[in-house]
Amino acid sequence: MEIVVSLVSSLVVEGVKFVYRSISSKIRSCWHGETIGDATDSHIKAAEHIPCPSIRDHTTASQTLAHILRLLHDDKVRRIGVWGMGGVGKSYLVKNLNNKLSSTMSSRQPFSLVIWATVLKTTSSQERDLKNLQNKIANRLKLKEEETMERTAILLLERLRREKFLLILDDVWETINLDLVGIPRPESHLGSKILLTARSLHICRSMMTDVEVKMEVLTDEEAWGLFKEHAGEVADSQSIKPLAGTVCKECGKLPLALITVGSAMRRKRQVGLWEDAIDELRMSRPSIDGIEPNLYSSLRLSYDSLQNEKLKSCFLYCCLYPEDYSILISELVECWWAEGLIDDQLTYHAALNRGIALIESLKDSCLLETGDSDNSVKMHGVVCDVAIWIATCASPESKFLVRANVRMIRLSKFELQRDLERVSLTRNSIKALSDKEMECPKMISIFLQHNSFLQNIPENFLQGFGALKVLNLGETQVRSLPVSLLHLRDLRALLLRSCNHLEELPPLGSLTKLCILDLHDTSIKQLPEGMDQLTNLRKLDLSYTLNLEFVLAETVSKLTSLEFLDMTESGYRWLIKPRPPLSYFEIYLQEHHTEQRATLEDLQSLQRLSILYLRLHDTVTAFEECDVYWIERLKTFCCSMALTYLVPDTPRPTEKDLSGDGIEWFISHATSLAFDNCCNLHEILEYVVINRVGCFTDIKILTLKDAMLNEGSNA
C-alpha cells in the first residue's frame, strides 16, 4: 500500500510526462527500502554536518547568518549570493548555515535535501571543473558516475526534481551553467534554492542571484577576541598587550589574517619578536610563519582572476598609495591615463568614465572599496599588503619600490635600482633628496607627495628619469622646481597639488607631451613661460590659486587640446574685453600688464573644452554682453558669482546686488551655480522658480552662501 501511495504522489508532483521507465525505477527503489520524494533515500542524510569553527560568539557573522535564514524562507528569493573579499569568512558562514540546517530538520525545515559542494578553481578547462562539480553532487546523492557529462546531468536532473533542495556552492569563480551540470533551475522547480559564495559581485550577478549579501570584516572587539583566541594568553600580558594590539590592527579585522598571524605569534613572550612582526607587517614582507602560503596566496587568487593584464596593472598601481588612504578617483584615473593603462586617445570625459568602470570592477572583486567620500577609493590594509607583495616580492622581475608611510627620513641612492618602473615614497618625513644623478631609465611613475618637510628638489635628482610619465610632488613645501624637469620629455602628468609654498615654475615649453597639470592651491602669481607650447594639455587645475594675477591671452588660445579647466576660487579676475567706461580696477590691471590679459572671450577658441569651473567677479549683465554661445557646448559648467576681488587684510565689502541681472541665463546653462554674499536672491529666485521653471533642467547643484533670504519665501 505504501508503494502505491508513493507512486501516486510522485505522479501528482512530477506530472504525467514521466513514462514507464521512471515509474519502474521508483518501484525498484521502494522494493529496496527507499522512500520516494522526501528526505531522500534511507542511506542519504538530508544534510551532512561539516566540521568547522562555530560563529556563535561572532555578532557580525551571526547577524548575517540570521539574515540568510530569513531569505531561505522567502518564497520570492530563489538564488542568494554571499560575496566578500578573500579571508573574510564566507565559507565559515555557509558551513555554519549548513550545520544549523542539519541540526534542525523538522516540519519547519523548508528543504528535504541540503547539498554542499566546494567549487574548485583549477588551471584546467572549465568543462573539467564542471565535471568535478557534477561528480561531487552525484556522490552526495549516491548516484553512479556515468561516462559522459550529458548522461550524468540527466540522472542528476531526474533525481533532484524529486526534492525540495538547497544547493550550497562554495567559492565560485566562474559562471556555472546549471543545465550542463544537471541542476534544476530553482525558478521552475518551486521550493528549491541555490546559495553561492564568491569574491566577486560580478559572479553573483552572472549567476542570476535575486539577493546579494556582502560579508563585512569584523568589529574591533570581534577582531581582538579572535586574535587573542589564536595568539593565546600572552596577548593579554602587560608587556605584550600594546604590541599585540598593533599587530591585531595590522590584520585589518580580516578573520583569515587574524587567525594566521595570531597563530604565528602564539605564546611568543619576547618583546623583540612582536616588534619585528609589526615591522614586517608594515613593510608587507611575508616572513611571518603562514603568511605567504595561507593568507597572501589565498588573496592572490582574487588578483589572478582579474579579467586582463591592464586591470591587474591598474590594481597594482593602487598600492603606490598608503593602505586605507582615500585616493581621489580623478587623480587615480589621471595617473592610469598618463601611463597608458587607459587609452590616451580617449577624451578626458571618456577616460574618466573608463577609469570609473575599471574601479567598479575592482570594487566588485573586493580589491578596492569606497573611500571616506564618494569621489574616492581605498585599499583594505591586507589587500594593499598583498598588492605590494605581488609588485615587489612575488617574482624576480619586480619593478616596484613601495616605501609609503614608513617614517623614512632620507632616500638612499642604492634603493633606486636601474630596473625600477614605479616608486612610492609618499607620506614620509623626507627632508632632502640626493643631489647625485639617479640612473633609473625605466622609471615611469614616482610619488613623493605628503612629505611635508621636503623643500627642495636637487637639480641632479631628476636627471636619470628620462622615461618618467607621472611625477607627484603634492603637499610638499617645495618653492620651485629644478630646470632638469625640462629633460622629462615623456612627462604626461605633473601633480603639484597643495604645494602652497610653490611660487613659480621653470619654462615648460619642452614638456610637449604633458596632459595633466595640477596647480591646485599653489602660490603661483602667473602661469609659467612656454605654456602656449603645451598643445597636448588636456587638464589644467588652477583652483584655489589665490595669488594668481595674470594669464596671458595668447597662452589660453593656444591650449588647443584643453578639455578641463578648473579655476574655482582662483584669484584671477576674468574680464570682458575692454569697453568704456572702465572701472578703476580694470584700469589698474591694464596699466600694470602691458601684455594682453586673457578674457572670457578667449575661452571660446578652446574647441575641445567640455568642463569649466570659474568664479565671476563681474556682473551678470556684463557677462551676457560678450559672445557666450560656446558655453552651451560644455558638458559641465560650474560658476560661482561672488564679491569683487578682496585684497588681503581689507574689510569685507557689502553684499553684491544682482538685481536686474538675468541670472536665469546662468541657471539654464550651468550644471553647478554658487552665489556668495549676494542680496535680493529671494526676489530673483522666486521669479525664476515661478515663471521660468524650465531653467532648472540642467542644474545639479545650487549653493547659496551668506545669502539673505526672506523667511517663508516661495523660492
Dihedrals phi, psi of 323, to nearest 5 degrees: -65, 145
8 A C-beta contact, residue 168 and residue 94: yes
Q: Which of 568, 580, 628 is nearest to 604 (CA)?
A: 628
pLDDT, position 715: 59
Tell how strand 400-402 and strand 422-424 pair up: parallel
How many folded domains does the chain comprise?
4
Q: Is 378 exposed, middle or buried (0-12, 13-18, 19+ CB in 10 A)?
A: buried
Range of the domain at 269: 220-282
- Tell me, yes or no, whether 95 lies in a domain: yes
> Are residues 229 and 180 part of one domain?
no
Q: Tell me: the pLDDT tens digits for 590-600?
A: 555 546 888 88
8 A C-beta contact, residue 338 and residue 469: yes
Helix (H) or strand (E) holding 673: strand 672-676
DSSP for residue 714: -
8 A C-beta contact, residue 609 and residue 603: yes
Q: Is the pLDDT of residue 32 over 60?
A: no
> Are residues 136 and 123 part of one domain?
yes
Secondary structure (DSSP) of 363-417 = HHTTS-EE-SSTTEEE--HHHHHHHHHHHHTSSTT--EEE-TTS---B--GGGS-
Q: How far is CA 198 from the centre of its chain?
A: 18
Question: Could you tell me which residue, 292 or 6, shows the higher pLDDT?
Answer: 292
> Are residues 359 and 246 part of one domain?
no
> Are residues 186 and 104 part of one domain?
yes
Average pLDDT over residues 694-707: 74
Q: Tell me: the pLDDT tens digits for 377-410?
A: 999 999 999 999 999 887 666 789 999 988 898 8
Tell how strand 678-679 and strand 369-370 pair up: unpaired
Q: Is the pLDDT of residue 26 over 50?
A: no
- Tell me, yes or no, whether 527 lies in a domain: no
- Tell me, yes or no, whether 626 lies in a domain: no
How many CA atoms within 13 Å lie on the side-chain side of 487?
13
The last residue of a domain, from among 387, 422, 451:
387
pTM for this entry: 0.83
Q: How many percent of the chain have pLDDT more than 90?
A: 57
- Tell me, yes or no, whether 90 lies in a domain: yes
Q: Flag the least confident range among 162-166, 460-464, 678-682.
A: 678-682
Helix (H, G, I), strand (E, B) or coil at 656: strand
pLDDT, position 486: 93
> Are residues 373 and 264 part of one domain?
no
The last residue of a domain, from among 240, 257, 282:
282
> Are residues 123 and 59 part of one domain?
yes
Q: How many percent of the chain have pLDDT more than 70?
A: 80
d(CA 242, CA 238): 8
> Are residues 125 and 79 part of one domain?
yes
Q: Flag the least confident range among 348-362, 364-378, 650-664.
A: 650-664
- Tell me, yes or no, whether 561 lies in a domain: no
8 A C-beta contact, residue 679 and residue 657: yes
> Are residues 264 and 366 part of one domain?
no
In residues, how long is the chain?
Answer: 715
The cell for 537 is 594639455
d(CA 115, CA 129): 18
CA-based end-to-end distance of the chain: 81
pLDDT, position 588: 56
∠ Cα 284 316 252 (to 5°): 45
Q: Is the dihedral of CA 626, 640, 698, 711 positive or negative?
A: negative
Q: Which of 400, 406, 402, 407 is nearest to 422 (CA)?
A: 400
- Tell me, yes or no, whether 574 lies in a domain: no
| Residues paired with 566 in a beta bridge | 541, 613
- Other Cβ atoms less than 10 A from the Cβ of 427: the count is 20
- Tell me, yes or no, whether 169 lies in a domain: yes
Question: Could you tell me which residue, 485 or 679, shows the higher pLDDT?
Answer: 485
> Are residues 190 and 128 part of one domain?
yes
pLDDT, position 665: 66
Q: Flag the least confident range among 20-34, 509-523, 565-579, 653-667.
A: 20-34
pLDDT, position 47: 85
CA distances from 112 to 2, 68, 530, 679, 706 (A): 19, 18, 77, 73, 67
The last residue of a domain, from among 155, 189, 214:
214
Q: Is the pLDDT of residue 203 over 90?
A: yes
Tell how strand 672-676 and strand 165-172 pair up: unpaired
Q: How far is CA 213 from the centre of its chain?
A: 19
Question: Could you tell me which residue, 711 or 513, shows the higher pLDDT?
Answer: 513
CATH assignment at residue 364 = 1.10.10
CATH assignment at residue 65 = 3.40.50.300
- Tell me, yes or no, whether 619 lies in a domain: no
d(CA 122, CA 173): 10
pLDDT, position 416: 83
Dihedrals phi, psi of 148, to nearest 5 degrees: -115, 155
> Are residues 161 and 100 part of one domain?
yes
Q: Tell me: the pLDDT tens digits for 629-673?
A: 778 788 888 887 654 444 444 444 445 555 545 566 667 777 777
Dihedrals phi, psi of 592, to nearest 5 degrees: -95, -5
> Are residues 337 and 326 part of one domain?
yes
Tell me how far apart the 2 most distant CA atoms of the chain are, in Å. Answer: 112
Dihedrals phi, psi of 14, to nearest 5 degrees: -95, -10
pLDDT, position 128: 82
Q: What is the 3-state secondary structure (H, E, C) of 424-460?
A: ECCCCCCCECCCCCCCCCCCCEEECCCCCCCCCCCCC
- Beta-strand runs (E) in 506-553: 516-518, 539-541
Q: To which residue does cell 562539480 refer? A: 133
Instruction: Tell me the H-state helices in 210-339.
Output: 220-231, 241-250, 255-264, 271-282, 297-304, 309-317, 329-339
Q: Flag the least confident range among 333-347, 452-466, 564-578.
A: 564-578
Q: Is 170 exposed, middle or buried (0-12, 13-18, 19+ CB in 10 A)?
A: buried
Average pLDDT over residues 305-315: 93
Percent helix, strand, coil in the chain (nearest 5)?
35, 15, 50
Helix (H, G, I), strand (E, B) or coil at 560: coil
DSSP for residue 7: H
d(CA 297, CA 291): 8
> Are residues 166 and 47 part of one domain?
yes
Q: Is the pLDDT of residue 367 over 80?
A: yes
Question: Could you tell me which residue, 635 or 564, shows the higher pLDDT?
Answer: 564
Q: Is the pLDDT of residue 8 over 60?
A: no
